[in-house]
Structures are given as structure tokens and as C-alpha cells.
Chain A
Amino acid sequence: MQNLHGIPINYYVILSTALFCVGALGVMLRRNAIIIFMCVELMLNAVNLLLVAFSSYFGDSQAQVFVFFIMAVAAAEVAVGLAILIMIFRNAGTSDTDVLTKLKW
């Protein structure tokens, strides 16, 4: 096993997988839209972490550029997403996704 700053690469992989699973489960199981939103961010950052780790591991800086891009896009996405959430809350009085089922049949 090769090391990265003294920590084996496996650990990075396991950590980001765990983070991703926590995020995915959160998205699936939680009801509050804000929490779901945060979980989505968590998944995104889990992937970021993996990318950075491998970038350092292979000595290739391309992945780091990628991560910057992802962070920039995520920032924009957060701005838009939060704005939508606020509007939903103002109109519906709640951010519980079980209540927000207007689009069903």
C-alpha cells in the first residue's frame, strides 16, 4: 500500500465512500429539504475529496483544476437552490418534502 503524506490511499477512498453513502442515505431518508440539500453537498464534496486524493497520488494537477470548477459550480448551485427553497417555504409555509407533493398525478 502506498502512502500519501503518511496516510494510505485506501483511507481516503474509504472516507470519501463513507461520506458519499451518508450523503446518499440522507437524501433518501430525510424529509427536510434543507437537510436534503446539505446531503447533496456532502456527496459532492466526497467526490471532490477523492479527486484531490488521487490527484496528489498520481502527481497530476488536472484533477485539482476539476475540483476548483466543481466548487465554483457548487457555489452557484447553492445560491440558486437556497433561493428556490426560500421561495418554497414562503409559498407553502414548510420545507417538508412529504408535504410538497403538488406535482403528483
Chain B
Amino acid sequence: MEQLVKLIPLFPLISFAIIALMNRRLSKPQAAVIACIGVLLSFIDSAVVFQSQLQSFHPVEVKVFDWIIAGNFNASFSFLVDPLSSIFLMVITGVGFLIHLFSVGYMKDDDGMRRFFAYLNLFIFFMLVLVLGNNFLVMFIGWEGVGFCSFMLIGFWYKDNKNNDAAKKAFVMNRIGDLGFLIAMCLIFFNFGSLNYSTLFSPGFLAESSVSTETLTLITFCLFVGAMGKSAQIPLYTWLPDAMAGPTPVSALIHAATMVTAGIYMVARTNVMFSLTPDTMTLVSIIGIATALLGAVIGLFQNDIKKVLAYSTVSQLGLMFVALGVGAYTAAVFHVVTHAFFKALLFLGSGSVIHAMGGEQDIRVMGGLKKKLPITYLTFLIGTLAISGIPPLAGFFSKDQILSEAFAHNKILFALGLLVSLMTAFYMFRLFFLTFHGSFRGTHDQEHHLHESPMNMTLPLIVLAVCAAFAGFIGVPHVIGEGLGLHNLFESYLSPVLGVSSSHIEASVEWMLMGLTTVLIVMVILYARHLFVSKNYVPESDSHMKGSFKKLAYGKFYVDEFYNKVFTQPLDKISLFLEKGIDIPVIDGMVRGIGKLTQGLASIARKIQTGNTGYYAIAFVFAILLLFIFFI
């Protein structure tokens, strides 16, 4: 068992090493096969470990090696397998493998395919380290590692400077969050003397420690800042939409299914601390709902297929934080799982569409792709229905759980959450109808080029569609489950780590909420259908856009420009001042001055060196004579 756990992250690391070291000596298909096998083996391994977790429920700690031992500080490189990490293992390796498979077809014409698979494998490795880590330090390795891989993959097509800018932006934004995480780690160590989960989260440890609530609030706040960066929450969310500059499978894997959920994982992992600090919890839910709303509103007006999905991801992550904020950790993790399935499906579907369109991403020039891409159409439909929350698809159960938990906690939070869900349904179906229905609006060449993706790309779509359709049944809410004899497996599986949600609402109220939500969502979908199918409405081109709010939302509320004005430009100015005003005259001046002084003195002193042997001899003799006189 212990060996199996160690092997999980090792497989992708080995395949990464093989591809990276052999590079050009491997053919492209060989590199792809090695990468896929690495992740597949890891997935099988994870499945075995998951299976044993299902039976035993006993957390398994595996020490790989002693890492840092200094004084009373002791951090070993060790792994922890418990229900929470095992679920993440399954999602990461499972979805990861499918996306690897998809990439084989998607990237087959790209020169950098080997590099691509090497990074992708490295990413899987770091992500596994992140969720498997048994203390904060190991999690931090994974945390930084996935950030690095994300950076490399966003800027994968590095010849276009726009992509490099996006990569840098993602990296810097993440760095701000990482600083929060780092500070939190230091605070935890100073106050508790340990970074191990098993010590920190053992029952009663935090409650019995003499650390004040204020300190604990500070710690959780700093942790949440870290989560904000990684999981793209206000105010650090702007990197995620730009991260779509990377290849589409990367968007699916890193910027939708796995890496961005690391923040959720971290908060869920440290739920014991968060539960003790209601102030931070309130902040988490406020930030979460604000992000969810903002992402959804911007998503309503975007015309780039990947941008819509990106803002949708921001919005869904916001909903997960709402769940975390109201203490419904299980609901958040459940939504992570279902979201991983349907969002990966949607991104891969969009990848298939972009592939067929020859790189075009603007939905205004698509349309009528239904006949040409039947499999993509069907799977995309399932994904869209799932994210909209139509029963009995996966998104319905997880979203419903979050909404009912929010309702039990705060009615306003519920209302806003419902609004977000309705907007989600609208922009997703707007995207769906504009892409697949109506008639084709692109050029003749593009129409000619349209084709269904090959088997190795559609297969992952089909598998993900099945998951997106049925994954919800692992977490059927009690009110429905009782009637059907279904138990909420997900909640009971995770309860040792995350506890059981304390909030209970009347069964009748819950039924009503469910019905209300579903009816409203269906109405929104019908309205979208009316608008985009019956009336054939197509968003106007950028220059003809009317309505100031629309422009504002299409311009993403100009948050980037605002950040640019408020943070980047002043920083540039300060840097410029420091360079021109301090660095060059003062510091460089000092260094250069010393050099100049030496040179000046030397130019005088070197006159002595005439090169004439006679002078040297005379100087020599007189010096000796002087010495004689001096000593005698």
C-alpha cells in the first residue's frame, strides 16, 4: 500500500523525465504514448488506492524521506492519503489522462508537442504532490510547481508576445497569493510549532492551544489570500481569462479542472482552522459570491468561446468559495468534482470546435456546427446542461447542494447564488446556440475545412460526457435519496475529514428550492433559445456595440486597465525613478567613482615605470643604500 502511494506521483515524473531528456530522439507519437502511459498508470494506481480507502477509511501516511530537520523544526517529505486527497487523486489522474488523450490529436501538428507533453506530465506530478502532501511545506512545493507549469504552458506558443504577457501576468498574480500562503505557513509554525496536518488537525489541538482567535483569523486570512491567487478570486482573478492564451487542453486541465481548484482543496484541507474563524468565513463567502456574480456578468457578453468558458470557471470557483464560506466543505468539494468533469468536457469540446474552425475562436462567425460535428455537439450539449444545473445531470446535484446550504445560512447569499446560476444557464446556452445552431457565418474556406475530430479526441469527450451526466449520483441529496433509496455516498465518504454539514432545512423547503431553481433555469434556457435560435440574434461586432453597460461588461469592466493604472504604472514610475534617480547616480556612481579614483592615482604612479633598465638599476642601488643607512 505504501509503495503504491509513492508510485502515484512517480509515474508522471518518470514519463516527464523520459520525454524531457530524450526530446528529439523520440518521435512525436512516441512522446505522446509515453506521456499517456505515465498518467494512465498513475490513474490505475490511484484507483487501487482509492478502492482501499473506500473499504478502510483509515488515513494512510507515507514518509518518503526526511527533508528538513533543523532544531525543533521537522518537515519530512511525506504523503497523506485520506478521503479528501483520494478524491482529488481520482479527478486529477482521471481527467488528466483523458485530456492527455485528447491532446494527442489536438497537438499532433505542433512542433512543440514533446515539450507540451513534458510540461503536462510535470504538471500532473506537481498537482499530485500538492494534494498528497502531508504538511504545508510539501503542499507548497506542489503549489509552486503547478504555478510554474501553468506559466510554461500559458506561454507555450512563446513566439507570440501576447502569450508571454499572459503567462507573466498569471505568474505575478499567483505570486501575490503565494506570499499570503507563505506568511500563513510561517505564522502557523511560529504559533503551533508544526506544519503537519496530523498534528495541527488532530481533534482539539487548535481549540486547546493558547493561540488567540485574532491570530487564527490572520492565519486563515493569509491562507485565503493564497487561495484567491490560485483559484482566481476577486481581486486576483484577472489572470485566469488571459491564461486562455495557452493551448485548449491546458485550459481544460489546468485552468478549469485541476490547478484552479487547488485553492478550494487548501481551504477544505484546513477546514478545522476556518471553522474556528467565522470572520474569515464571512469574507470567503462574500468574496466568493462577488466573484461568481462578476464572472457571470462578464461571461454574458463575451464573444470568444474560450473567454466565455474562462469567466464561467471564475464564476463557478466563486460558487465553490460560497460553499466553503458557509461551512459546506463537502458541497464545495463535490462541486469541484462535477465541475472538473463538465468544464473539462466543455473546454475539450471548444477545443474540438476550434480545431475544426482552423483556430477561429469568435462565436460570432460560427453557427450551424451541429451537422458537421455531431459527437462534439452532443457531448457539448450534455456539458452545457450539466453546468446549467438541469436534473439529473451532475451539475444539478452539486449546485443544488451549494444553494441549499447557502439558503440555510443566509437568504441573500442564496438569492445571489440563484442569480449566478441563471446567468450561467443563459451564457452557456448563448454560447451553445451561437456555435452549433443556426447557419454558418464564417468564410467559405472555414466552412470547407469543418470536420469532426478524430477518434482519439472524441473518445475523451464521450467519457467525460458520461461522467458529467452521471457523476452527480454519488452525492444525491437526502431529500431525493430517501425516496429512491440512494444514500449520499460522497458526504459520508468525506465526513471523517470535512465533517457533516450542520445546517438543516425542512425537506419541503428544499424541494421547493430545487423546483424553483430548475423551473427558472428552464425558463432562462427557453428565453435563450427564443433569442438565439428563433430570432437568430447574433452579437454585433465590436465597433457597433450599443449600450454602455454592455460595453462595460464586454470590456470586462476594465479591471485590467484599472489595475494597470493603479498598480502597474505607478510601480513602473517608481522603478524608473529608482533607476534614474538612485541606482545610476548613487549606487553606480559610488562603484564607478572607486574605479575612477584608482585609475587616476594609477595614471600618476605609472609614470615611474619608464621601462628604462638604467633607472631601475639606479633606483635599486639607492634603495639598498637607503636601507643600509636606515639600519646601521
B610 near A28 with CB under 8 A, answer no
B541 close to A (CB within 8 Å) = no
Contact of A103 among B611, B617, B618 (CB under 8 A): B611
B595 close to A (CB within 8 Å) = no
B607 near A97 with CB under 8 A, answer no
A27 close to B (CB within 8 Å) = yes
A29 near B614 with CB under 8 A, answer yes
B613 near A100 with CB under 8 A, answer yes
A24 near B621 with CB under 8 A, answer yes
A97 near B613 with CB under 8 A, answer yes
A103 near B621 with CB under 8 A, answer no
Within the complex, the shortest CB–CB distance from A96 to chain B, in Å, comes to: 10
Interface centre among A33, A102, A105 (most CB of B within 10 A): A105
Contact of A28 among B607, B609, B621 (CB under 8 A): B621
Interface of B is mostly: helix
The number of residue pairs between A and B whose CB atoms lie closer than 8 Å in the complex comes to 34
Of the four ranges (under 10, 10 to 19, 20 to 34, 35 or more), the interface on chain A belongs to: 10 to 19
CB contacts (< 8 Å) of B610 on chain A: these are 101, 104
B508 close to A (CB within 8 Å) = no
Tell me the bound Cα distance from A100 to B614 in angstroms. 11
**Which A-chain residue is minimally distant from B619 (CB atoms)?**
A28
Contact of B612 among A29, A30, A33, A101 (CB under 8 A): A101
CB contacts (< 8 Å) of A29 on chain B: these are 614
> In the complex, how many residues of chain B place their beta carbon closer than 8 angstroms to a beta carbon of chain A?
11
Tell me the bound Cα distance from A50 to B353 in angstroms. 107
Contact of A105 among B609, B612, B613, B614 (CB under 8 A): B609
Contact of B607 among A27, A100, A102, A105 (CB under 8 A): A105
On whether A103 and B614 interact (CB within 8 A), knowing A24-B621, A28-B621, the answer reads no
The 3 lowest CB-CB distance pairs between A and B, nearest first, are: A104-B611, A101-B611, A105-B606
* Residue ranges of B at the interface with A (Cβ–Cβ < 8 Å): 606-607, 609-614, 617-618, 621
Known pairs A27-B621, A101-B610, A105-B606. 15 more at Cβ < 8 A?
Answer: A28-B614, A28-B617, A29-B614, A31-B614, A33-B613, A97-B612, A97-B613, A97-B614, A98-B612, A98-B614, A100-B611, A102-B611, A104-B611, A105-B609, A105-B611
The contact sample of 22 A-B pairs, CB cut-off 8 A, is A24-B621, A27-B617, A27-B621, A28-B614, A28-B617, A28-B618, A28-B621, A29-B614, A30-B614, A31-B614, A36-B613, A97-B613, A97-B614, A98-B612, A101-B610, A101-B611, A103-B609, A103-B611, A104-B609, A104-B610, A104-B612, A105-B611
